[in-house]
Amino acid sequence: MRSVADDLRDELQEEVDQLPFEERMKLVLRLGERGLEMFRLANGLDRETAIRALQRQRQAGRTPSKCMSELIG
């Protein structure tokens, strides 16, 4: 059984699929910035600290890398 949320998600995906590549990339970057800002505000962090925190989360559970450890702390 499909929900209203399923229908809305499919409708939004169709709209995005019809955008030219450049517009999709602009949308992706805009949403990424929006997500970063929301994370930053929710955690009371400055931009650089928020970026490093997200990078550390992304690396958690992966095979340790000396290079990445040096880059993101």
Pick out the chain residues at pLDDT < 70.
Answer: 73
According to DSSP H, which parts of 1-73 are helical?
4-17, 21-43, 47-59, 66-72
Give the global pTM: 0.69
26-44 CB burial, b ≥16 within 10 A, e <16: eeeeeeeeeeeeeebeeee
pLDDT in tens, 57-68: 888 877 777 887
User: What is the per-residue pLDDT for 3?
Assistant: 92
**d(C-alpha 35, C-alpha 38), whole Å:** 5
User: What is the per-residue pLDDT for 65?
Assistant: 77
User: What is the per-residue pLDDT for 59?
Assistant: 81
User: What is the per-residue pLDDT for 66?
Assistant: 81
